[in-house]
Amino acid sequence: MSNGRGLVIGTAVVLAALAVAAFIVTRETEPPALARSGTLTVAKALGGSDGGMEGYARAFEPRPFHFPEDHGPHPEFRTEWWYWTGNLETADGRAFGYQFTLFRNALAPGAPARDSAWGTREVYLGHFTVTDVAAGRFHVAERYSRAALGLAGSRAQPFKVWLEQWEAASVGEAMWPVRLRAETDEVELELLLEPGKPPVLEGDRGLSQKSAEPGNASYYYSMTRMPSRGTVRLEGQTYAVTGESWMDREWSTSALGADQVGWDWFSLQLSDGSELMYYQLRREDGTVDPFSSGTWVPPVGAADSASMHLTRDDVELAVLDTWKSPRGGVYPSKWKLRVAKLGLELTVTPKLADQELPVSVRYWEGSVNLDGVRQGQPVKGRGYVELTGYADTAASTQRPEARARGTPEARSTPTTDSPRH
């Protein structure tokens, strides 16, 4: 997000969605007029004005990272997120993808605690999706709540971040493993995550700069290949699954640059044991922003074990296909990704065309397959892609009921769980 995820960056949709949530839990019983009118976009919510940033810390320069402390909250910054995505499968090969994201957003900087038990200076928002590849269905849920009365919150030790019954928490006093839990009436996910590779500091030693303006940046690290095991429950049937997850952590205060409208973000796990993160920031005129950035993480045991920073000029990204959302907007839907300095060329293909989240601010985030070569050797893999700034918000302001779509290019069925206050 620019601010950046997850840009998943995530989803900076984060601030846009949290802007809606903040109004809901503090002032109104429904989203503000800006959202109801269909004019709330990522660019507007993350616009380049300085409004709302005074009094918060900003990311101006690299800082030391400390673990496990930095897995916990950073309340001096306006917003942050804990972002997990992953690909799972059963013993007989049934594939699932998932996204589980919890966002924290401050409502006022450095404010003292209020006397009322309902009083809060923070709101939390969560997004939860499961891609059921075999059934061609995409399940979506959104929740938000105030950080009061134990409804939502976060802490570093023992680690826990929660939003009502949705949570990520250390199993014991040590940081790992972490258990993820999320559920709706239709789908439930419970996973145990091990750390796998150590944290990777994105950008310049963890400072991820998103535009030329000083402070328009986030502190950003990733855990790129986390062994995962647990269960997925769908329609009353429980599946034992194993796989690999990716965690992104960012905290920041600043917003998108004035001429930035969205991003394409990739987190890719290759079969040779390496990983690639790349986000491409898009400008209003259709060009790629020079602050687009990425990281390549080598396999365990590689002669050179250091991660490699990638600039916009290092990565060639070409769109091979598109998908038209029934809610409005056209998304890229297949890519050729090339990094010449790595001898890497990949075709990135969504497992389902429709993995769009029709939530407070619409965006696309979904499971993908990889096929290609690295240094002349064939590679495969899987990962996640996040796309923002493509939705035609004027075309649809209401989240649709679950419905089947029979065309081959759009046969997944998004379903939504109503937000809870």
pLDDT of residue 237: 95
Other CB atoms within a 10 A radius of the CB of residue 101 amount to: 28
Both structure tokens of 421:
């206050």
Residue among 99, 104, 73 at smallest CA distance from 84: 99
Q: What is the pLDDT of residue 404?
A: 26
Contact assessment for residue 366 and residue 138, using Cβ atoms and an 8 Å cutoff = yes
Give how far Cα 355 sits from Cα of 9, 88, 209, 230, 257, Å: 17, 16, 28, 23, 27
180: number of Cβ within 10 Å? 24
SS3 sequence of 107-126: CCCCCCCCCCCCCCCEEEEE
Please give the C-alpha separations between residue 82 and each of 6, 167, 206, in angstroms, as whole numbers.
Answer: 9, 11, 15
Whether 421 and 24 have beta carbons less than 8 Å apart is answered as yes
Beta-carbon contacts of 82 under 8 Å, excluding residues fewer than 6 positions away, are: 101, 102, 154, 161, 168, 247, 249
pLDDT in single tens digits along all 421 residues of the chain: 334 443 333 434 445 545 555 554 544 334 333 333 343 444 444 444 455 678 899 999 999 999 999 999 999 999 999 999 999 999 999 999 999 999 999 887 876 666 777 777 889 999 999 999 999 999 999 999 988 888 999 999 999 999 999 999 999 989 999 999 999 999 999 999 999 999 999 999 999 988 888 888 899 999 999 999 999 999 889 999 999 999 999 999 875 677 888 899 999 999 999 999 999 999 998 899 999 999 999 999 887 888 999 999 999 999 999 999 999 999 999 999 999 999 999 999 999 999 999 998 899 999 999 999 999 999 999 999 999 999 864 433 333 322 222 222 333 344 433 323 2
pLDDT of res. 218: 92
The CA–CA distances, whole Å, from 361 to 15, 331, 393 equal 10, 15, 8
**Apex CA 5: angle with CA 415 and CA 95, to 5°?**
45
| pLDDT at site 255 | 59
Burial label for 188, CB within 10 Å (0-12, 13-18, 19+), is middle
Q: For position 304, what pLDDT does the model report?
A: 81
The domain locations on the chain are: 13-415
Per-residue pLDDT, 361: 86
Domain 13-415 homologous superfamily, CATH: AttH-like domain (2.40.370.10)
